Amino acid sequence: MDSALASDHGAYGAHPDGGVYLRRTVRTAAKILVVGHFAVGKTTFVGSLSEIRPLRTEETMTQAGALVDDLAGIEGKTTTTVAMDFGRLTLSDSLVLYLFGAPGQQRFTRLWQDMTQGALGALVLADTRRLEQSFEVMGLLEEHGLPYAVAVNHFDGAPTHPEEEIREALDLLPETPLVTCDARDRISSTRALISLVEYLQTRTAVQEHV
């Protein structure tokens, strides 16, 4: 827990455009990963939440990339994240979250080793059209011992299923949070993130009493 939290008593960074300052009441910062398979909406999610202009490392997809990335059902996608997305969200007067969006393609999994360092937890975005592609992502998180919640991202035309069916399909533990969200909507995305933070707080409280 200590490695994932950092006290902030002095440096209050500003948006390069002269925009958003970190509140002076903030004393705790937490690193959160936003992960999921290719084209599940991670960049959109971070962008909808960030109170600063998000850092994006999107590049135009090349013909070579199209040969290894599964574009079935997402033929209109023209860009992909090649390093990470980064954003910031002040969740309360004392807590700020730093959001790190990880690329979803298998060839970028080596980046995860560094990105998981110091992370408090992860929010896994899922797509009902490709639920099976979430297994590798969740496996990586479990390999690194990182707790996570799952948010099923809404896509127009995507099938909907009862929560218990999705939970069973993803083979989630009973305590793992499962919510739905629309990554394009700030309020919806915030609720999904809060479900993760509440889960992490509950885990911490349990561990402290063991």
Phi/psi at 30 (nearest 5 deg)? -125, 140
pLDDT digits (tens, 9 = 90+) for 21-68: 788 899 999 999 999 998 899 999 999 999 998 886 654 444 444 444
Query: CA-to-CA distance for 123 and 192, rounded, in angstroms?
Result: 8
Proportion of the chain in helix, strand, coil states, percent, rounded to 5: 35, 25, 40
Number of neighbours of residue 79 by Cβ within 10 angstroms: 12
pLDDT digits (tens, 9 = 90+) for 75-94: 454 444 445 899 999 988 99
**Domain membership flag for residue 57:** yes
Q: State the pLDDT confidence band at 108, using cuts at 50, 70 and 90.
A: low
**Domain membership flag for residue 14:** no
**Domain membership flag for residue 21:** no
- Answer whether residue 72 shows pLDDT above 80: no
What pLDDT score was predicted for residue 87?
Answer: 94
Crossing angle of helices 163-170 and 134-143, rounded to 10°: 60
**Domain membership flag for residue 193:** yes
Q: Which residues contact 143 (CB under 8 A, 6 or more apart)?
A: none
Q: Which of 134, 126, 131 has its CA nearest to residue 154?
A: 126
**Domain membership flag for residue 158:** yes
Question: Which residue has 């290894």 as its token pair?
Answer: 68
Long-range contacts of 10-19 (CB under 8 A, 24+ apart): 15/52, 15/53, 16/53, 17/53, 19/52, 19/53
Residues linked to residue 79 through DSSP beta bridges, in sequence order: 60
pLDDT digits (tens, 9 = 90+) for 133-151: 999 999 989 999 999 999 9
**Domain membership flag for residue 18:** no
Query: CA-to-CA distance for 141 and 4, rounded, in angstroms?
Result: 15
What are 82's two structure tokens? 């090649």
What are 198's two structure tokens? 């509440």
What are 194's two structure tokens? 């809060």
User: What is the domain-level CATH number for residue 146?
Assistant: 3.40.50.300
**Domain membership flag for residue 156:** yes
Query: CA-to-CA distance for 17 and 170, rounded, in angstroms?
Result: 42
Question: Which residue has 């083979």 as its token pair?
Answer: 171
**Domain membership flag for residue 190:** yes
Distances (CA, A) of 140 to 41, 67, 120: 19, 24, 15
One-letter amino acid of 67: L
The domain in which residue 43 lies consists of: 2-9+28-208
pLDDT digits (tens, 9 = 90+) for 160-184: 999 999 999 999 999 999 999 999 9
Q: Which of 191, 190, 183, 148 has its CA nearest to residue 51?
A: 190
How many domains does the chain contain in total?
Answer: 1
